[in-house]
Amino acid sequence: MKPNPILSALALGASLLLLQAPALAQPKPIELRYTSGAPPKGNPWVMQIERFAKDVDEESKGALKIQTFFASQLGSEQDTVQQVARGRIDLGGFSAGSAALVVPEVALLLMPFYFRNTAEFDCVLDNHMAKPVAEAFAKKGVQFLGWTEVGSIDMFGKKPFMAPADLKGAKAAIYANKTQALFFTSMGASVNPLGLPEWIPAFQTGMADVVLTTITYALPSGLTKVATVGSRVKAYDSPALTLMNKATYDKLPKELREALDRTAERNPAPKMRAEVRGFEDTLWGMMTQAGGQAPVATQEQRDAWRKAMEPVYPQIVKETGGDSAAFYAAMEAGRKACTK
C-alpha cells in the first residue's frame, strides 16, 4: 500500500508543531524600567546597576529583565522618585536627599557630623535603620530594596575649612537643602541658594567661598579648578537607596520577588560602599596631582564639628516633617548600640 502524501505531510507538520511547542509555551519575560541620574559611563554606579540587571536576569532565569535608563533619561531624581511612588516608573536608585521627597525623615541621615565616623554610619544603616526605612517607604507605596552609596560630602573652597571657626563670615553656595542652610548659618556663614551650574561662576565672582559636595561631582564638573582646596572633613556620608513601586513588586510572582531578594544578597551594602569609596580615593588623588589640596580632618577635628552641631540637631528634626521624632530616636538607639 502506497503512503498517502497528504497524510504524510500532515503527520510531518504535526511533529514539527510538537517539537516547537515548548518554545511557543515560554512566557514572555517581565520587563522593569530602572531610572538613575548617574552619568552613562566611567563610574561605579553604572557598573553596579548593570551588574544588578545581569544578576536579576540570572536569578530569575531570564523571566525578569531590567531596562536601565542613565543620565536622568526619564527625568530628574526629584521627579522620578515620585513617579516610582505613583507607579509610573518601576524602580530606580536615588540619593537620600531625593528619596526624602517621599519619606521626609530620610533626610535626617544627612545631618552634618551626626555620625562620629564611617564605621558608625555603616553600622547604624545596616543593622538599625533598614527596617524603619523599609516600613516608612511601604506606607508610601514604595518597596525598599537596599542601600547603595552616593559618597562623602566634603567642603570645597579656595582655603581649608577644617574647624567651625573657619566658616564664620564665609559665603556658602547651597542648593535647595534646609539642613545645609541650618548648618552653615549656625556656623556663622551666610547662604546663597544656587543651582549646580551656577557654582563655578559664583566662585569666580566672589559670590561663594565654600560649598558642600562630593569629589565625584567636584572634579569631573571642573569645580576643583576654582575651588582648589577640598577639605576632607566628611561632613556626612550620603547614602543612596534602591526603591521600587510596591504594587509592582507585590504583583510579581513569588519566585520573581525572591529573585530580586537574592540579587540584593549577591552585592550587599558594604560591597557597594567600598566600590564607591575606592572611586573617590582615585579622584582625590587626581585632584592633588593636578595641584589641588585635600587636607584630611582628624577624629578630634570631626568631634569639634559635631560638638558645634549638637544644639542644631533638635531644630533639624523638628523642621524635617513626617514621623521625624521616631526616626531620630531609632538613629540615636542605633548609634548607642554601634558604639558599645
Domain of residue 121, CATH code? 3.40.190.170
Residue 157 has what DSSP assignment?
Answer: E
For residue 266, the one-letter residue type is: R
Residue 21 lies in a domain: no
Helix, strand, or coil (residue 94): strand
User: Residue 12 domain-assigned?
Assistant: no
Which residue carries 507585590 as its cell?
250
Determine the length of the chain.
Answer: 340
Question: By 3-state DSSP, what share of the chain in percent is helix, strand and coil, each rounded to 5?
Answer: 55, 20, 25
Burial track 137-172 (b if 16+ CB lie within 10 A, e otherwise): beeebbbbbbbbbbbbbbbbbeebbbbbebbeebbb
CB-side exposure of 268: number of CA atoms within 13 Å? 7
Q: Diameter of the chain by CA atoms?
A: 108
SS3 letters for 34-76? EECCCCCCCCHHHHHHHHHHHHHHHHCCCCEEEEEECCCCCCC
pLDDT of residue 125: 97
Q: Work out whether strand 171-174 and strand 210-213 pair parallel, antiparallel, or are unpaired.
A: parallel
Give the pLDDT confidence score for residue 21 in this predicted structure: 46
pTM: 0.89
Query: What letters, b where the CB count within 10 A reaches 16 and e where it falls short, cover 32-63?
Result: bbbbbbbeeeebbbbebbeebbebbbebbeeb
pLDDT at 26: 61
Enter the DSSP assignment of 114. Answer: -
Specify if 241 maps to a domain: yes
Domains held by the chain: number: 1
17 within a domain of the structure (yes/no) = no
| 282, part of any domain | yes
Residue 178: per-residue pLDDT:
84
Mean pLDDT of residues grouped by 10 in the chain (340 residues)?
46 45 66 94 94 97 97 95 98 95 96 96 97 97 96 97 98 87 96 93 97 96 97 97 98 96 93 97 97 97 97 95 94 93
Q: Is residue 7 part of a domain?
A: no
> Domain range holding 301?
28-338
The answer to whether position 2 is within a domain reads no
pLDDT the model gives residue 16? 43
Query: Residue 305 domain-assigned?
Result: yes
Q: In terms of Cα–Cα distance, which of 267, 164, 172, 246 is closest to 213?
A: 172
Give every CB contact of residue 64 below 8 A, 6+ residues apart in sequence. Answer: 29, 30, 32, 56, 57, 252, 256, 259, 260
Helix (H) or strand (E) holding 163, with range, is: none
